[in-house]
Amino acid sequence: MPSRKAERGNTNRTETKPPTPDQPIVAALSERFDLADHRRYLARDLEGVILDLGAGRGAMVPYLRTAVQREPTLHLHAIEPDPNRRRQAKRTASAHDLDMHLRSGRTESLPYADDTFDVVIASAVFCTVQDPPRALKEVHRVVKQDGEFRFLEHVRSDGLRGYVQDAMTPLWKRVDNGCHLNRRTDDWIAAGPFALDEIETLSIGVSPFRPFVRGTATPVSHTETNSRIDRREYVSS
């Protein structure tokens, strides 16, 4: 896999500044975890057929509702493997009067035909998927060749915090539904079947959930994909 630095050098990676220091502590903390702007980023200017991966309890629903108000022809799909969360997501969608086709499923084996989606969205999902390279390959399969993959994920930190995240992850994933603190999701996306169009490191989140990255990526051709995927190596921690 190319080095983290090298990958970052090839993309429009920018850094978002932290909150201003004169904010009260509570406001600053809540701003550090406020994903609203970034969820709006994921849902901006959507057109066509959309898939929300790992919908959870429906955190993206209000933003997708706004997207439908702007573009009423949107077709919304979502998968969520956990039945309780899926039920809650259904309730959230219904409370927002949002027509969303929510199914059981995992990103590693998506229940959709090739080239189905114009945009696939992942928010805080790749920390949890069981097999990230396989999941990315599946996203690549179902997204149209001129489609887009949009993501908002917490990833492994550089420096000392990264080593702390490595050490904490084996226990953490047991208490937090399989969440890995140390996934290099941004590197996986760049090294796999996608070309990163933009990526931004966000100064939000509280340790050990730092940093977050958000960005967009477009599928690379299937021929190129196969050689890139073969070179990747995934070791579960």
Ligand X SMILES: C[S@@+](CC[C@H](N)C(=O)[O-])C[C@H]1O[C@@H](n2cnc3c(N)ncnc32)[C@H](O)[C@@H]1O
Question: Interface residues with ligand X (CB under 6 A)?
Answer: 53-56, 59, 79-82, 85, 106-108, 123-125, 128-130
Least Cβ distance, residue 51 to ligand X (angstroms): 11
Q: Please, is 205 exposed, middle or buried when counting C-beta atoms within 10 Å of its C-beta (0-12, 13-18, 19+)?
A: middle
Shortest distance, position 153 Cβ to ligand X, whole Å: 10
Coil vs helix vs strand at 75: strand
Nearer to ligand X, 128 or 169 (CB): 128
**Is the CB of 7 or the CB of 90 nearer to ligand X?**
90
128 or 225: CB nearest ligand X? 128
Name residues whose C-beta falls within 8 Å of residue 230's C-beta, 6 or more positions apart in sequence. none
**d(Cα 44, Cα 165) in Å, to the nearest integer?**
32
Q: Which is nearer to ligand X, 79 or 204 (CB)?
A: 79
In sequence order, which ranges of 143-212 are alpha helices (DSSP H)? 159-175, 185-191
> Residue 86 or residue 184: which is nearer to ligand X going by CB?
86
Helical pair 36-43 and 61-70, crossing angle rounded to 10 deg: 40
Residue nearest to ligand X (CB): 56
Q: Please name the residue that has the structure tokens 């969520």.
A: 80
Shortest reach from residue 2's CB to ligand X, in Å: 25
CB of 121 to ligand X, least distance (A): 8
State the Cα angle at 18 between 164 and 148, rounded to 5°.
85
Closer to ligand X by Cβ: residue 7 or 142: 142
Minimum distance of ligand X from residue 6's CB (angstroms): 29
CA angle 137, 62, 64 (to 5 degrees): 45
Smallest separation (angstroms) from ligand X to the CB of 81: 5
**Runs of H (alpha helix) within the chain:** 4-9, 25-32, 36-43, 61-70, 83-95, 132-142, 159-175, 185-191, 222-231
